[in-house]
């Protein structure tokens, strides 16, 4: 049990590092491609990378499993990729980061409504404290202004609802499947959708052959797809099986901290509001997951 707990926290830290470092890859990709193209390319790169694993697994899966995995691919990868892309065209990154912190809250709400999970006082208090800490952390660092909040925020909120449903479905309906199978096959099912969108609804091919730096940007996005989607989701789904959906979803609170560390490495200064936000996040996560 102790080793399992250590492994769970280790996976949480690794995921935080991977997803917290993904922002720079997204930024480099957006220098050439549109947000929709970046989202589609990310999923397509992950799908291609996982083909040697996913294809041999198909014949061993039941039809009910396949249906759930397609649903997981939509909820956990495909739909959120496009919702975040749309939302971030009109929202400050700090606001987007705060809204992403709603994920654990929706995980808890859906767990209570659909899976009869208990919403203890500690869980509620801890999630609220960590969410407030995320808001303070990101808004203090980016100078985020709530006046920028507009209806595009609904796209981000809808994405976090998808994540909340996705986590609970994996935990309570796919516990018998290996995390590698869950990730690879679910991405395999939505990969063709990304390809169809990319080659029929965008100017990706023209951009790739005519814009300077396009191939370099494609390299950054491909790395994002392999590390930030394929490998990260395998670790994420393993973490879901080891712990609770709420514990797993707290990775959304640590991602901004990693992003800030990258900023410090790049010469930025840590301000008081960010320190208070980080402290509130750690306190909230501790309260949420402590055992009585």
Q: How many CB atoms lie within 10 A of CB 133?
A: 24
- Mean of all residue pLDDT scores within the chain: 86
Asked if 153 and 88 touch (Cβ cutoff 8 Å), the reply is no
User: Would you state the pLDDT for residue 27?
Assistant: 77
Mean of the pLDDT values across residues 160-182?
A: 93
* Stretch (H or E) spanning 137: helix 121-142
User: Would you state the pLDDT for residue 142?
Assistant: 55
| Domain layout of the chain by residue ranges | 15-114+146-242
Place of tokens 């099912």: 189
Q: How many CB atoms lie within 10 A of CB 65?
A: 18
State yes or no: pLDDT of 202 exceeds 80.
Answer: yes
- Cα separation, 291 vs 282, in Å, equals 16
Going from the C-alpha of 279 to that of each of 55, 84, 124, 283, 290, the distances in angstroms are: 45, 27, 18, 6, 16
User: Would you state the pLDDT for residue 141?
Assistant: 59
| Model confidence pLDDT, tens digit, residues 90-134 | 776 666 767 788 888 899 899 988 988 888 888 888 888 888 887
In this structure, what token pair is assigned to residue 130?
């960590």
User: Would you state the pLDDT for residue 291?
Assistant: 63
State yes or no: pLDDT of 33 exceeds 60.
Answer: yes
User: Would you state the pLDDT for residue 221?
Assistant: 93
State yes or no: pLDDT of 138 exceeds 70.
Answer: no
- DSSP, collapsed to helix, strand or coil, labels residue 90 as coil
- Cα separation, 94 vs 103, in Å, equals 16
User: Would you state the pLDDT for residue 57?
Assistant: 92
**pLDDT tier for residue 146 given thresholds of 50, 70 and 90:** low
């Amino acid at each position: 049990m102790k080793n399992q707990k250590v492994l769970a926290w280790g996976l949480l830290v690794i995921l935080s590092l991977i997803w917290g470092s993904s922002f720079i890859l997204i930024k480099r990709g957006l220098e050439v491609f549109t947000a929709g193209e970046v989202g589609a390319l990310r999923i397509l790169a992950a799908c291609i990378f996982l083909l040697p694993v996913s294809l041999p697994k198909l014949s061993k899966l039941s039809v009910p499993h396949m249906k759930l995995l397609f649903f997981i691919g939509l909820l956990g990868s495909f739909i959120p990729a496009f919702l975040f892309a749309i939302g971030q065209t009109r929202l400050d990154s700090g606001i987007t980061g705060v809204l992403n912190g709603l994920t654990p809250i929706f995980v808890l709400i859906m767990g209570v409504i659909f899976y009869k999970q208990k919403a203890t006082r500690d869980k509620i208090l801890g999630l609220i404290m960590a969410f407030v800490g995320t808001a303070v952390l990101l808004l203090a660092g980016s100078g985020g202004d709530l006046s920028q909040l507009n209806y595009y925020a609904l796209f981000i909120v809808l994405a976090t609802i998808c994540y909340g449903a996705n986590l609970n479905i994996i935990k309570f309906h796919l516990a018998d499947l290996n995390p590698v199978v869950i990730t690879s096959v679910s991405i395999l099912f939505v990969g063709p959708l990304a390809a169809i969108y990319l080659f029929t609804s965008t100017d990706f091919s023209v951009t790739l052959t005519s814009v300077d730096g396009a191939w370099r940007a494609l390299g950054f996005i491909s790395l994002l797809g392999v590390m930030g989607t394929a490998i990260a989701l395998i670790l994420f789904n393993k973490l879901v099986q080891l712990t609770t959906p709420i514990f797993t979803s707290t990775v959304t609170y640590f991602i901004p901290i990693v992003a800030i560390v990258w900023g410090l490495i790049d010469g930025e200064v840590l301000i008081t509001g960010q320190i208070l936000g980080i402290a509130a996040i750690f306190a909230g996560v501790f309260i949420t997951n402590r055992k009585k």
